[in-house]
Amino acid sequence: MSAEDRRNAIIEAVMPVFAQKGFAATTTKDLALAAGISEALLYRHFPSKESLYENIQNQICSTESSIHEYVLTMESGSKGVVKLIYLIFKIVFETQKSHPHSCSVCRLMIQSLLEDGDFARSFVEPRFKRMLPYMESFIEEARAAGEMIESPITAKEMQWFSHHLAVSLRLAHLPEKQVFEYDSTPGDRLLHAVWFSLRGIGLKDEVIEEKFKPDEFEAEIEDVLVRAGLLVSPESS
């Protein structure tokens, strides 16, 4: 095994350990045990626990340019608002189910928020924070067109509140045995949550009825997420 392959294998093996225990509580002994190697060999590839965690962070949190490029092509106004909110839910709630590190990423986020937040910030920055200027522009146009009710909520808060709802739903689905009972299938639940968010940010009902037609843009969004590595292509599954 080459040095690079060994490093990647170590990263794959220890990611669930950091996810379960958090950075502070994880020891190099825990990491070496998970990787099936000695601590001495672990140090040959990563000089410190911090270095190994940083490599995991860089691997997971790297910018997915295809998402940003897609946002650049979105229609403005209320249509852009609808597609952007739907994209956020797809990234957070649904697509990561098929991602090989799905549960680890969710748990790393939780642990990060309980600690210093560095991993969470690095994860959010390239995916969601870069969307904010577009959301602000779309919201401004939708308001000017009379498609939204009056609200004191800023466009930034509208995006983050929608994101937080998507994250909460994703976390609620982590246990194999579900904690909460819903009256819908997971697919319908996603659509209901998006509708809930669109109403919550103030889009008028008739605008949602007209613009929220996921069948029209589902395929293009899934293609973007496949290229971003967040969704496994049906052809490869």
CATH level 3 topology of 3-61? Arc Repressor Mutant, subunit A (1.10.10)
Smallest CA-to-CA distance from 61 within 114, 21, 117 is with: 117
Q: What is the pLDDT of residue 233?
A: 67
83 within 8 A of 74, measured Cβ to Cβ: yes
pLDDT at residue 96 greater than cutoff 90: no
Smallest CA-to-CA distance from 104 within 160, 61, 145, 162 is with: 61
Q: What is the pLDDT of residue 62?
A: 63
pLDDT at residue 133 greater than cutoff 60: yes
pLDDT tier, 95 (very low <50, low <70, confident <90, very high otherwise): low
Partners of residue 203 on adjacent β-strands: 148
Average pLDDT over residues 113-119: 88
What percent of the chain is modeled with pLDDT above 90? 54
pLDDT in tens, 154-179: 999 999 999 999 999 988 888 888 89
DSSP string, 65-103: HHHHHHHHTS-SHHHHHHHHHHHHHIIIIIGGGGSTTHH
Q: Where are the alpha helices (DSSP H) in 145-213?
A: 155-172, 186-200, 205-211
Q: What is the pLDDT of residue 179?
A: 93
Q: What integer best gives the mean pLDDT of the chain?
A: 88
202 within 8 A of 162, measured Cβ to Cβ: no
What stretch of H or E contains 214? helix 214-227
Backbone CA torsion sign across 215, 200, 96, 48: positive
Cα–Cα distance measured from residue 105 to residue 18, given in angstroms and rounded to the nearest whole number:
10
Q: What is the pLDDT of residue 39?
A: 93
| Residues contacting residue 171 through CB under 8 Å, at least 6 positions apart | 106, 110
- Among the residue ranges 14-18, 52-56, 63-67, 196-200, the one predicted with the least confidence is 63-67
Q: Give residue for tokens 């919550």.
A: 200
Q: What is the pLDDT of residue 63?
A: 54
pTM for the predicted model, two decimal places: 0.83
pLDDT at residue 201 greater than cutoff 90: yes
Cα–Cα distance measured from residue 63 to residue 130, given in angstroms and rounded to the nearest whole number:
10
pLDDT in tens, 186-195: 889 999 999 9
Cα–Cα distance measured from residue 232 to residue 221, given in angstroms and rounded to the nearest whole number:
13
Average pLDDT over residues 21-45: 92
- How is the chain split into domains, by residue range? 3-61, 65-232
Cα–Cα distance measured from residue 107 to residue 80, given in angstroms and rounded to the nearest whole number:
31
